[in-house]
Homo-oligomer: A and B are copies of this chain.
Amino acid sequence: MTGCTLSVVTEETPRKRVRDPEAHRAAILDAARRAFAEHGYDRATIRDIAARAGVTHGLVMRHFGSKEQLFIAAVPGPRDLADVLPGDPATLPERVAAAFVERMENADHADPFITLVRSAPSREKAAKLYDEMRRASLDPYLASVTGPDAEERVDLLAAHLIGVTFSRYVVRSEPLATMSPERLTDHLARTLRAILLG
């Protein structure tokens, strides 16, 4: 396992260097996504991200310049919840509920949404990024939701999804954390219906 020729235990074993910028860059991005999702912006460290990616923290700095730029590069815009908009407006709540649950369940606790909910409360910059993404995700809805208070209702829809994300995926408190996806979808559909159309 040592691989290195005849090294004493205490001896320094300078790591073998692999020269592959693109693969390293991709590995760092992936590691950063996971680390930021697990710990939030503040408690995630460049050194931990580098270790996960199998490189040194110096290389992370070389590729991304700063922790903040890495965050911006690693946390992509939320995978869309907007492709569910076309269709009968009367069943929009059900479609949104199903799309949300499916997306989150498949993300293995590393969805950008989770990352932002973890990071925004304590980082002004993350809060700004969160707000941009939220706005971009929600804008398409304004065209599909009618009524004078459409904007408010869409915002309340977002707030509800944030609350569920917080409880189920971030803090993971019971009974929401272990509720079956189907049951969650039902509850969500009912509530979103009241928010949007009630």
Interface centre among A167, A174, A198 (most CB of B within 10 A): A167
Partner of A122, one of B43, B161, B168, B198: B43
**CB of A117 closer than 8 Å to a CB of B:** yes
B176 and A122 contact, CB distance less than 8 A: no
Q: Note all chain B residues with C-beta closer than 8 A to A175.
A: 151-152, 155
Cβ-defined contact, A166 with B173, below 8 A:
no
Interface residue? A162 (CB, 8 A): yes
The yes or no answer to A61 lying at the interface (CB within 8 A) is no
Which residues of A (117-133) have their CB < 8 Å from a CB of B? 117-122, 127, 130-131
Q: Which residues of B contact A152 (CB under 8 A)?
A: 175-176, 179, 183, 187
A158 within 8 A of B: yes
Is A74 at the interface (CB under 8 A from chain B)? no
Q: CB of A85 within 8 A of chain B? A: no
> Which residues of B sit under 8 angstroms from A194, Cβ to Cβ?
190-191, 193-195, 198
Whether, in the assembled complex, A42 has its beta carbon less than 8 Å from a beta carbon of chain B, the answer is: yes
Q: Is the CB of A166 within 8 A of B163?
A: yes
Residues of chain B within 8 A (CB-CB) of A120 are: 170-171
Determine the distance from Cα of A171 to Cα of B177 in the docked complex, in whole angstroms: 24
Chain B residue contacts of A195, Cβ below 8 A? 187, 190-191, 194
B183 lies within 8 A of A122 (CB): no
Which of A159, A170, A174, A193 has the most C-beta atoms of chain B within 10 angstroms of its own C-beta?
A159
